[in-house]
Structure 1
Amino acid sequence: MWRVVAYTLPRAKVPRSRVCCLQPAQKGRSLLAGTTAPLVHATQSLSMNLGIQKVEALDTGHFVRVEWEDGSESRYPCVWLRDNCQCPQCFLRSAKARRLLIEDLDVNIVVKEVAVADRRKISITWPDEHASEYEAEWLKKRCFSEEARAEMRENLFLPECQHWGSDLQLPKLPFEEVMYNDESTYKWLCTLKRVGIVLLTGAAARQGELVKLGHRIGFLRLTFYGPTWQVQDKADANNVAYTTGKLCFHTDYPVLQHPPGVQFLHCIKQTAAGGESQVVDGFHVSRMLKKQNPQAYQILTSTAVDYTDIGVDFCDFAVQCKQRIIDVDSRGEAVRINYNNATRDTVFDIPAEKVRPFYAALKEFDDLLNSAEHKFTYKLKPGRKCEEAELCRLLDSHHRLAAKLPIQKRASEPEPAVPPGSLQPLVPSGNFIIRKGDSKMGTGVPSPK
């Protein structure tokens, strides 16, 4: 989803004259029908009007050096240039897809001839006489310098992440604006990607609003709890979320091989007392742990933890999965949190002597999650949809963790009727909370594991 947003919306803001409601999905039709944003990815700050001053082969033909008119230069490996030949024989332009097979690629290939054509492209002749041409703009965007690669990452993946603690200023947007205004939808998605949690206000306190919101930007993922689910206190609950007790900070569904990335929580009816929700920025806490205790961080980023979930709901299910508590990228930075104490299995597939150090590291991480300076507490009103990038609370589920405080009910209070997909103690009626699921963790809110 983020890739589509990165390609489409950052390039051109939607003029107010072109703002419209998205039409029902049609085959071959862009999701963002009615916008003027082109479906291309470009690097804006790089000057795309630079001409080519000079081109030459280096390292006995294994590299091509391009000197630009502004005096800068770029180096391109010949094997990469041959792999990305743009001619019709090697590249299907209608699909923007490569035709050349790796089995036909010589990884030791060198250029036979290379020349500048009209200062706007280079032409290469390969040893087998195959000819390739590369536009200056195309080459400039794909420069291998650290600066150019960093800029391309920014354009493709919107990596900016805002860390926060108890001082979080919860982002809020009107539900109706997000539903019918493309600019507001774009703002919502970018905020969700950056902060990990968004509150949508003014939604009707009735069933179906959550599904409408999901269809606004994509599709809802079917799980063994159904396409949406109802969260309330149940006898013989098959999930600790379906109880009135406190839930510790957790991310949802670490038992799945691919945990969901966004969670929508819609409150239809709220309890009079208790049921407050808490969220914490898992990426922020991970950075704190890495700084405070590098060894604990190393343990949690390298130890595969067993998760299990067995029961009957939308269907019979019995699933197992191994996840590291903190997933990291090639630079050692956290990219996803997989932590749910309720579904952590009794089976632990590591040597016995490594068990206690793991628990010590996990305890330190959990203590940081529960630190007053890191957790943000709120209570939703009926009708709110809070988005944090996951499913109902609009939470970014990969790095925001959620929790809930105990719910207090009067002895005579009947069970509230909550529609599937709602987290009743989470959001006040008419409000949505949405969270991104990579790093935001929460407590205090009944939600599926």
Structure 2
Amino acid sequence: MNAVDTALENPPIADWRSYPVSADLVEVKAAADALETVWSDGRVSPFHHQWLRDNCSCSKCVYSVTREQLFEIVDVPEQLHPQRTRIDEQGHLLIDWQDGHHSRFHPGWLRAHAYDEASRAERRAQRPHSRLWGAEMNEQLPQFDYQAVMTDDSALLHWLVAVRDIGLTQLLGVPTSEDVLPTLAKRISFIRESNFGVLFDVQSKADADSNAYTSFNLPLHTDLPTRELEPGLQFLHCLVNDATGGESVFVDGFAVAEALHQEAPELFRTLCDTPIEFRNKSRTSDYRCLAPIIALDAHGAVSEIRMGNFLKGPFDAPVERMAALYSAYRRFIEMTREPRFRVQRRLEAGQLWCFDNRRTLHARTEFDPTSGARHFKGCYVDRDELLSRIHVLQR
């Protein structure tokens, strides 16, 4: 049997993951425009003919090297239907289509993608969920060992899942040389460059082009709300911190949004529905973005917080909505100042913050630049890169 015959005999799953069989296929029933599959645990999963044909993973429909689809559903009749169906000895669903095409579906893959309500509810329950936090994080901060993260993929995965689900982590035992941060960040993936560079130095500068590069109190914010896509992860690596003051402050923006939703739903909705403009102006660049402070994902969950009072432009809202916008804006900032949400810790040399910049608001208390040196190294990695790395490590 040649390679082509083998590919036809054993078509690949159009994915790089594996799919364990949690229930066996025991029966297939014909319906008007679908097949009803009956599983060994009693669940019944209808699959429409078009869905099945669209997801055929044979070598004619999916290129086995890339596992990307070659087939497009418009290339077969809309009313295409199976001529014959059966379950083989390995438990696969086999379909002979009326046009002569043959499809085979792995039972684990088919169950994992079933779209009956029970199966969809299972997938919703299995999706990662954000773990909201408040002041208790002062005592429960997730901390990880730098050497373990750099040398052990299981430790790396443990850290990245915490970044994804909690949004605030700290690494300990980090060498204080300036070349360490890019090596760590690339343990995840590519570094995102911005107008501040691939890496940036957070220290007081006489010719600062951002308040972050001064010794002032820096209020709670997310970095680069002026961009269409805010950076996902932010790293801050402490090389030296001998100055008086300058403590790091964090607030879980998702927790504040949820509390606002519960306590004042009309204010929450205003911040979801009303875009405001953020502006980042310097001598050589001018970035602007019009977006709401609270963004929701396709499932209706909070997916992003965009905040930076020192970067916002004048509100531009209809006259009848301006008062409501200010009420919502004021309340959100008031809540971020409440002790129940606030985490405040000093970062020492050899320690590193890694947090979700599109979720976790961060700030810095004022420090005295004459009292000692203070130098943090920073960079960004997009959230997509974090999620991709987690998926690869998990599979």
Scaled to the shorter chain, the TM-score interval is: 0.7 to 0.9
Q: Cα offset for 1:235?
A: 2.7
Distance 2:153 2:162 in 1: 14
Does 1:377 find its partner at 2:344?
yes
Q: Secondary structure at the match of 2:186?
A: helix
What corresponds to 1:303 in structure 2?
A: 274
Q: Which amino acid aligns with 2:17?
A: H
For the Cα contact (< 8 Å) 1:271–1:407, is it kept in 2? no
What corresponds to 1:160 in structure 2?
A: 129
Alignment of 1:129-208 (within 5 A): 129-152=100-123, 159-168=128-137, 169-208=140-179
TM-score, normalised with respect to structure 2: 0.85
The 1:329/1:421 distance shift into structure 2, 3 A limit, reads: closer
Distance 2:301 2:22 in 1: 35
Does 1:78 find its partner at 2:30?
no
What corresponds to 1:407 in structure 2?
A: 367
The 1:144/1:237 distance shift into structure 2, 3 A limit, reads: same
Does 1:41 find its partner at 2:17?
yes
Q: Secondary structure at the match of 2:254?
A: helix
What corresponds to 2:289 in structure 1?
A: 321
Q: Cα offset for 1:418?
A: 3.5
Does 1:340 find its partner at 2:308?
yes
Q: Which amino acid aligns with 2:30?
A: A
The 1:374/1:123 distance shift into structure 2, 3 A limit, reads: same
The 1:248/1:102 distance shift into structure 2, 3 A limit, reads: farther
Distance 1:98 1:213 in 2: 35
Which of 412, 415, 421 is the matching residue for 2:378?
A: 421
The 1:262/1:256 distance shift into structure 2, 3 A limit, reads: same
For the Cα contact (< 8 Å) 1:308–1:319, is it kept in 2? yes
The 1:51/1:43 distance shift into structure 2, 3 A limit, reads: closer
Aligned length: 368
Distance 1:350 1:43 in 2: 50
For the Cα contact (< 8 Å) 1:400–1:435, is it kept in 2? no
Does 1:52 find its partner at 2:41?
no
Alignment of 1:97-136 (within 5 A): 97-118=68-89, 120-136=91-107
What corresponds to 2:356 in structure 1?
A: 396
Q: Which amino acid aligns with 2:319?
A: A
For the Cα contact (< 8 Å) 1:117–1:123, is it kept in 2? yes
What corresponds to 2:35 in structure 1?
A: 64
Q: Secondary structure at the match of 1:183?
A: helix
The 1:106/1:288 distance shift into structure 2, 3 A limit, reads: farther
Distance 2:303 2:161 in 1: 17
What corresponds to 1:18 in structure 2?
A: none
Q: Which amino acid aligns with 1:345?
A: G
More displaced, 69-78 or 202-211? 69-78
What corresponds to 1:355 in structure 2?
A: 322
Cα RMSD (Å) of the superposition? 2.5
Q: Which amino acid aligns with 2:131?
A: Q
Gaps of 5+ in 1: 1-38, 387-393, 423-433, 439-449
Q: Secondary structure at the match of 1:398?
A: coil
Q: Secondary structure at the match of 1:383?
A: coil
For the Cα contact (< 8 Å) 1:397–1:436, is it kept in 2? no
Q: Which amino acid aligns with 1:403?
A: A
Q: Cα offset for 1:287?
A: 0.7
Q: Which amino acid aligns with 1:179?
A: M
For the Cα contact (< 8 Å) 2:272–2:295, is it kept in 1? yes
Which of 196, 207, 211 is the matching residue for 1:240?
A: 211
- Matched-pair identity in %: 29
Distance 2:49 2:219 in 1: 53
TM-score, normalised with respect to structure 1: 0.76
What corresponds to 2:194 in structure 1?
A: 223
For the Cα contact (< 8 Å) 1:43–1:152, is it kept in 2? no
For the Cα contact (< 8 Å) 1:63–1:78, is it kept in 2? yes
For the Cα contact (< 8 Å) 1:163–1:284, is it kept in 2? yes
What corresponds to 2:251 in structure 1?
A: 280
Deviation track 1:281-337 (CA, whole Å, cap 9, x = no partner) reads 11111110001111111111111221111225xxx3222212211111234220111
Distance 2:93 2:255 in 1: 46
For the Cα contact (< 8 Å) 1:305–1:325, is it kept in 2? yes
Q: Secondary structure at the match of 1:176?
A: helix
Which of 32, 44, 59 is the matching residue for 1:88?
A: 59
What corresponds to 1:30 in structure 2?
A: none
For the Cα contact (< 8 Å) 1:56–1:115, is it kept in 2? no
Distance 1:216 1:224 in 2: 23
The 1:139/1:374 distance shift into structure 2, 3 A limit, reads: same
